[in-house]
Amino acid sequence: MANPGAPEVFATDSAEVLVEDGHGGAPTHVEPQLLGLAPYQWVSIAMAVLLLIAFVFAKVHKTIAGGLDNRIAAIKSQLDEAKQLRAEAEALRDEYSAKIAGAEKDAEAMLANAQHEADAILEKAEADSKSMVERRKRMAEDKIAAAEREAVEDVRNRAATAATQASRKLIAEKHDAEADKALADKVIAGI
């Protein structure tokens, strides 16, 4: 080991250093080559490939960017549609809330109206029942009065029949055929 601070150089079998005689016998350094191309040519080829890849990928990038832009536009349109649907849903909710409130008011009005009608029907039923009771009472009184008249008429008829029979009997007992003849002559003379 020579110098501990100096870098070590390792030689490999694949690396060859060619030394040619140069100007005035001075050695010159020969550049390495790969497939017959010098390093600067490889750099030029690499740059061309890189530019070609960049150009191709630029188109792909534009295609990817275009696809992403289309996807973003689709998402924006879906968001706009969702906002519109939400606005419509809120409008429908408000409309139905108003309808429900109106229906509740209508129900309260209907209930009040039904209560009023029920009270009116009850009052009418009470009045009708009172008038019906009065009518039936009058009918019963009329029937009683008619029955009394029939009874009085029946009593009169029986009394008349009894008086007629009694008078026939009395006349038959007090008048004989001669008295009848004199009475008939008197009636005929009066005519």
For residue 14, pLDDT beyond 70: no
Distance (Å, rounded) from C-alpha 91 to C-alpha 74? Answer: 25
Whole-angstrom Cα Rg for the chain: 72
Q: Identify the pLDDT of residue 23.
A: 60
pLDDT at position 59 is 74
Question: Into how many domains does the chain fold?
Answer: 1
pLDDT (mean) for 36-55 = 86
Cβ pair 39, 32 in contact under 8 A: yes
Cα–Cα distance, 127 to 124 (Å, whole number): 5
Residue 33 forms part of a structural domain: no
The answer to whether the CB of 51 falls within 8 A of the CB of 58 is: no
86-125 confidence digits (pLDDT tens): 999 999 999 999 999 899 899 999 999 999 999 999 999 8
Structural domain includes residue 84: yes
Q: Is residue 69 part of a domain?
A: yes
On whether residue 28 sits in a domain, the answer given is no
Which domain does 151 fall in, by range?
39-170
Tell me: the pLDDT tens digits for 168-182?
Answer: 887 777 777 777 777
Instruction: Let me know if residue 16 belongs to a domain.
Output: no
Least confident of 11-20, 110-119, 121-130, 162-171: 11-20
Instruction: Measure the CA–CA gap between 143 and 135, rounded to whole angstroms.
Output: 12
Asked whether residue 187 is assigned to any structural domain, the reply reads: no
45 pLDDT band, cuts 50/70/90, is very high
Instruction: For residue 175, tell me if it sits in a domain.
Output: no
25 belongs to a structural domain? no
Indicate the average pLDDT of the chain: 82
Residue 61 reports pLDDT greater than 60? yes
